[in-house]
Structure 1
């Protein structure tokens, strides 16, 4: 069992009264337990909490007046990771549960219908199951160059496939797309985890549905999957943005600190452009 201590600081310059929706709190999920947590907002504001019961995603909504807004989330989380079997089969489409079928469909950033021919050419000849998804994960790791700042908030999986560069979100979107194109349900998972490089930020991986269970994959191989503190789960980044902003806002600071016991505490500040902020 691992313990993670998390501190997330978000500072904004609000140009006019604005509504915010944040997805920064640890999700309700069987893989981890919330030992303690606190959310603070400055200046004080009326905060509304709600949870997406389908995935355990937790959201915070608030209205902010013109001026500075500071949001801090601090938590201590215990993680318990169940080992993944060595062999897992793919489910035939007819056996995919109703609530999982949505993760087989194309979505905003994952054009699995357009990528079907490429997926079949690359992976259609491989034996179905866990090993085929690992092959997808390895191909992305070996073929896509990790390049912060290369992609944008609107970059899709098809564009990543063509441009051969991106960040963790792009790696995950491409994994999801190739899986769906092979009739393997897949979805995006975003959370907190410690890694050395690049500077600390939210981390994105993907999950595939194999033999009745969701299995995590990370084509960046930046951190062990069992260390991830899940925050958001969805079809793609459209569902799991850490901040959705309805107004004229500029982000001043995003600072994340993740301490997982055997790793040093090290804050890093990530500068983002003004406007809509997505995970």
Structure 2
């Protein structure tokens, strides 16, 4: 499925600073960037780089004097997702059988304190036998018990804060889903994306759970179809996959984000707990 994505961010820099931005569509075997452009007004020194197993595409900008600048990214991206049959999936994969690169996604992290949520996780979701059923139940519970409320949280809000305050945005919904999965020994990782017709328009955050040897996508906000995502980055949580990491005195003045389907035959896909199949972008 082909999508046209774009983002435009404007920043005011008060003193010499460095920004690391994470707005490029990921290149992977299941996601091809067919066309892309990046514009900086005014011109600034910029360097694209990547690191780690996820190969997120990061852009480092050096600003040597106070100014206001705008960065605009546009791309046409072809995504290929797989429908994974989970009829034979018998439960959580034993940790001894997990690949080494999956193990880090079992541990508590800065925004996903799974060690603090084990009692809640087992009391609410321990009754389900299959991992897919557990994660669907987790997303349904978050959707039904946490209010989506713009501006209700900040960059310091964690999964533990969200389950206490029962309000948040997509980032918080994702962190809570990740923490509850890890508390049940299900590896889970953060997922940022451009999302088809997301309302309100913004960068979107959801999560993937490792089930039956595959990374399966989940979105507890239910604000975007699961097959309408263009992946930007993965990480343990938002600390690894933030849209912007700022080192200096910088303020964001405006942000515009969009994702539109180029093809007309788009059919939105969502889950319910009784399904026996999941969707994977990996």
TM-score by length of 2: 0.89
Q: Counterpart in 2 of 1:242?
A: 243
Contact 1:29 1:230 in 2 (8 A): no
Q: Which residue of 2 aligns with 1:192?
A: 194
CA distance in 2, matches of 1:192, 1:5: 10
Aligned to 2:22: 23
Task: Report how far residue 181 of structure 1 moved.
Answer: 0.2
Cross-structure match for 2:269: none
Task: Give the drift of 1:52.
Answer: 2.5
In the alignment, which residue of structure 2 is the partner of 1:271? none
1:62 corresponds to which residue? 61
Deviation of residue 86 (structure 1)? 3.6
- Specify the alignment match of 1:84 in structure 2: 84
- Give the conservation status (yes or no) of the 8 Å contact 1:190–1:203: yes
The aligned runs of 1:172-187 (5 Å cut-off) are 172-187=174-189
The answer on whether the counterparts of 2:195 and 2:258 sit within 8 Å (CA) in structure 1 is no
Residues 43 and 70 of structure 1 are in contact (CA less than 8 Å); yes or no, is this contact kept in structure 2? yes
1:206 touches 1:216 (CA, 8 Å); kept in 2? yes
- Separation (CA, whole Å) in 1 of partners of 2:77 and 2:169: 26
Q: Is the 8 A contact 2:159 2:175 kept in 1?
A: yes
> What's the CA shift string for 1:190-239, capped at 9, x where partnerless?
01012352x20000111001111100001111111111101010000111
- The equivalent of 1:154 in structure 2 is 156
- The Cα RMSD (Å) is 1.4
Question: Take 1:37 and 1:69, find their aligned partners in 2: how far apart are those partners?
Answer: 20
CA distance in 2, matches of 1:30, 1:227: 17
Unaligned stretches of 5+ residues in structure 1: 264-279
The aligned counterpart of 1:254 is 255
Partner of 1:226: 227
In 2, are the aligned partners of 1:119 and 1:181 still within 8 Å (CA)? Answer: yes
For residues 187 and 53 of structure 1, the distance between their equivalents in structure 2, rounded to whole angstroms, comes to 14
Q: Distance in 2 between matches of 1:111 and 1:196?
A: 28
Gaps of 5+ in 2: 265-282
Cα deviation per residue 1:133-163 (whole Å; 9 max; x = unaligned)? Answer: 1111111111111111111111111111111
Structure of greater relative contact order (alpha carbons < 8 Å, 6+ residues apart): 2
The answer to whether 1:44 aligns with 2:39 is: no
Mapped to 2, the partners of 1:123 and 1:5 lie a distance apart of 38
Partner of 1:94: 96
Aligned length: 261
